[in-house]
Amino acid sequence: MDARGGVLAYIGLGANLGDPRAAVVSAINAIAALDRVQLTRQSSLYGSAPVDAGGNDYVNSVVEVQTALEPHALLAHLQAIENAAGRARPYRNAPRTLDLDILLFDDLVLHDETLVIPHPRMAQRAFVLRPLAEIAPALVSAAQLQAVADQSVWVL
């Protein structure tokens, strides 16, 4: 089944261990290959310094998908992609081989034990807002971008 008739969702991608650029590109391809998901837009790759964490600089991106999956099903697929990339969760904000977050899922507001949509910290992160603004400028205000202007983010 394809994603026609589905909703738009935005997924944030990031990595800073191993070969982060390759990990993010591979994850974008894996997302595009998911059943009932159609990749419709992808941002440039961005570099960013870790926020609230140590470690190497990150490679980040945001993709827009049209999906017929429910949010928890999409999350399960994204976590499988993370696990295949060797994702470990030893502690909060630990360096990672791959991090995939559902940022927005249509206009859904959801808060349960496994998923919060919209992503609770996306408005505080330049590495999310800059690539999101690149592919969906109507979703990011100038005020939001100004609020994170002090965070170092660059196009790779």
Catalytically active residues are 87, 96, 99, 101
Q: Please say whether the beta carbons of 104 and 117 come within 8 A.
A: yes
Round to whole Å and give the CA distance between 99 and 86: 10
Q: Please say whether the beta carbons of 30 and 81 come within 8 A.
A: yes
The bridge status of strand 58-67 relative to strand 37-42 is: antiparallel
Round to whole Å and give the CA distance between 79 and 100: 7
Round to whole Å and give the CA distance between 79 and 87: 9
The bridge status of strand 7-15 relative to strand 99-105 is: antiparallel
Coil vs helix vs strand at 126: helix
Round to whole Å and give the CA distance between 118 and 96: 22
